[in-house]
Chains A and B, each alone.
Chain A
Amino acid sequence: MTDVQAFRTGDTPLPDIVILTHKLTRDYDMGGEVVRALRGVSLQIRKNEYVAVMGPSGSGKSTLMNLIGCLDTPTAGEYWLNGQKVSALSDDELARIRNKEIGFVFQTFNLLPRANALHNVELPLIYAGLPTKDRRARAARALARVGLADRMDHRPNELSGGQRQRVAIARALVNEPSILLADEPTGNLDSTTSAELMQVFQDLHHQGQTIVMVTHEHDIAAHAARVVTLRDGLVATDQLRAA
């Protein structure tokens, strides 16, 4: 267990806490029947932590992921990101948070098929309102950082799975977000490519990037420094691993 600040409603998190959830719950109304996907998750993640979230299907992993990624809003509880209480923000403000603070890496890559790698990486910068020239330069730098400087003009279907996922990582990082949020990032990759990708994550972690990764594979989770296990919408275990 990490030492957790005793957080009460009305407090503000300590400055080095990037993610803080307090008794976070999320209910879904499935045709009259209420499904309680999260039943009160309290979690604190510090700057530059590398956290894997595990759990069987139905445990609430994805729901927690969506809430942390500001794609969804909680039914009750608080969520603080970088000292800002986001559980009470409007739609547009959430979009801004997603744009500036969060970098998503999805299992299915989620690249735009008709756009080339450079344009895919450019997208978050477009919504950030950067001028074209700056956008191009930064997107190119981000692609170079993941080793795809020579693949900028290629469309996703002209790239291998590993390359696609690296484009997605470049896109996630291009706005220098507070957290990198990865949802089963190796789910669609073979084991060699997966290992390479884990190396990329490891490097990013060493460079100071905070990473939260949802996975159900133990050997992938083993790369993380801290593993949080969910069961039935609650945190079951939360342990640090020896580096």
Chain B
Amino acid sequence: MPFLEAVRLALQTIRAQKLKSGFSAIGVFIGVTFLIGAWSIVNGMNRYMTDKFAGTLVGVNTFHLRRRPNVNFNVEDSVWRAWRRRPRIKFADADAVTQGLRMPVVTAWYSEDRGSVEYNGKVAKDITLEGATERYFDIMNLKIADGRAFTPQESKAGTTVVVLGYDLAQKLFPGVNPIGRTVRIHGIPYRVIGVVERQGNLLGISLDKFVVAPALSPIQREVNPPGVVDALIVKANSELEMRDAMDQTEAIMRSRRHLRPRQDDNFVMETSEGVLDFWKKLSRILYVVGPGLVGVALVVGGIVIMNIMLMAVAERTREIGIRKSLGARRRDILRQFLAESAALATVGATLGIGTGIVLSLLLKVATPLPAAVSPFSILLGVVVGGGVGIVAGVYPASRASRLDPIAALRQE
């Protein structure tokens, strides 16, 4: 029997027994649904992490000189304690690095803490209070939607002006233009000069609840001890220049801190790559656990299909006898039943792919989890699903092909 004939026959049989076929394909269906769903989430996260997360937290071609890593994962207590003993980054350090770098870079100071912002009796809590210098907006690609950022003069003078995040502005000034009005941070009044464009959210956390004030303004007292910054942000023109800048920064800092050659750095330079390391650790776990679960579902699905096919062979013994009496060879019967179980599994896999796509789209809409269906996972779904069907069909099909035609014809 030609291959196409076998496939046609298999689809016909499946169509004739919709309910039974549906149940038998359910294992593969679930397996492939999960495959597509999980894959698209991990895939989406991956893309999200590379495109947005790291860029948002650190910036492109940018590194942060800090006392200790800002983004970390599963840090041991002893390491943590060692980090806490490190000296902090001083204004003088930041200035020395800025002046010492011999390539065109843009730098900004940056410090942050949590606190509340008040306007006219309204209090917004849990706001990120940021003290920064004027280039911070450029480096982090924060566009001003309304008003302006602060000037170098305001930054140097430590003028009490602030730029608000979008959500904060909405909350404190519903329906009112915030520009020119005065908010209070820990009782000290600041004049609002601008509002930053909406940034959206990162894994469900709003990126628009912040205020930025000049680093030398009184906000310094809220975020850090005197003369100390959380980070010096350095942005280079290219990755290569960034690497050079990091080397020079390391040299400058080591000499300032009188570190001997054998001593480790007591500061870090965090890049988006470093942040991605954190994600890579996490995704490695997902890449192990995900396929494991998919594998279990597919094995179960395969066993279900094998059972159904054994039942089908028993039920259709007479049909097999008839076909053999009419000249079907062993391989014809084998092919017929293999095609049937492969078709069953492929139908299950196809439905699974559809459901998986819908599921990941729903997830994308309903939750902050990003999801992106990759074409490769669809291909994999079809191949793996069909493969499970073929593997599961081998034993029943070979049993069918070996039936004795006389005994098969006698079967009621």
Q: Which of A13-21, A66-74, A213-221, A229-237 contacts B (4 or more CB under 8 A)?
A: A66-74
B contact residues around A92 at 8 Å (CB):
329-331
Q: How far is the CA of A198 from the CA of B256 in the complex (A)?
A: 115
Are the C-beta atoms of A171 and B325 separated by less than 8 Å?
A: no
Are the C-beta atoms of A99 and B406 separated by less than 8 Å?
A: no
Q: Scoring A residues 76 to 95 as 1 if CB is less than 8 Å from chain B, else 0, what string do you get?
A: 00000000000000011001
Interchain nearest-CB distance for A20 vs B (Å): 22
Q: Which of B79-87, B200-208, B316-324, B378-386 contacts A (4 or more CB under 8 A)?
A: B316-324
Are the C-beta atoms of A127 and B325 separated by less than 8 Å?
A: no
Decide yes or no whether A104 CB sits under 8 A from chain B. yes
Chain B interface residue number, banded: 20 to 34
Secondary structure at the A interface, as helix, strand, loop or mixed, is helix
Interchain nearest-CB distance for A188 vs B (Å): 14
Q: Which of A42-50, A106-114, A189-197 contacts B (4 or more CB under 8 A)?
A: A106-114
Contacts A110-B318, A112-B319, A129-B2 given; does A123 touch B406 at CB 8 Å: no
Decide yes or no whether B16 CB sits under 8 A from chain A. yes
Q: Scoring B residues 289 to 330 as 1 if CB is less than 8 Å from chain A, else 0, what string do you get?
A: 000000000000000000000000000001101111111111
Q: Which residue of A lies closest to B408 (CB)?
A: A71
Decide yes or no whether B277 CB sits under 8 A from chain A. no
Are the C-beta atoms of A96 and B327 separated by less than 8 Å?
A: yes
Are the C-beta atoms of A124 and B326 separated by less than 8 Å?
A: yes
A contact residues around B5 at 8 Å (CB):
126
Are the C-beta atoms of A91 and B329 separated by less than 8 Å?
A: yes
Instruction: Specify which of A72, A96, A129 is in contact with B406 (CB 8 Å cutoff).
Output: A72
Are the C-beta atoms of B327 and A104 separated by less than 8 Å?
A: no
A-B contact count (CB 8 A): 60
Decide yes or no whether B286 CB sits under 8 A from chain A. no
Decide yes or no whether A128 CB sits under 8 A from chain B. yes
Q: Which residue of A lies closest to B12 (CB)?
A: A114
Contacts A110-B318, A129-B2 given; does A71 touch B326 at CB 8 Å: no
B contact residues around A61 at 8 Å (CB):
none
Decide yes or no whether B1 CB sits under 8 A from chain A. yes
Q: How far is the CA of A66 from the CA of B331 in the complex (A)?
A: 22
Are the C-beta atoms of B16 and A114 separated by less than 8 Å?
A: yes
Are the C-beta atoms of A95 and B406 separated by less than 8 Å?
A: no
Q: How far is the CA of A91 from the CA of B318 in the complex (A)?
A: 19
Decide yes or no whether A100 CB sits under 8 A from chain B. yes
> Quick one: which of A92-142 are within 8 Å of B by CB?
92, 95-96, 98-100, 104, 106, 110-112, 114, 123-124, 126-129
What is A's interface to B at a CB cutoff of 8 Å? Answer: 66, 69, 71-72, 91-92, 95-96, 98-100, 104, 106, 110-112, 114, 123-124, 126-129, 171, 175
What is B's interface to A at a CB cutoff of 8 Å? Answer: 1-2, 5, 12-13, 16, 318-319, 321-332, 405-406, 409
List 5 A-B pairs, minimum CB-CB distance, nearest first: A99-B327, A127-B327, A95-B329, A124-B326, A98-B327
7 contacts between A and B (CB under 8 A): A71-B324, A91-B329, A96-B327, A98-B327, A106-B409, A112-B319, A127-B326
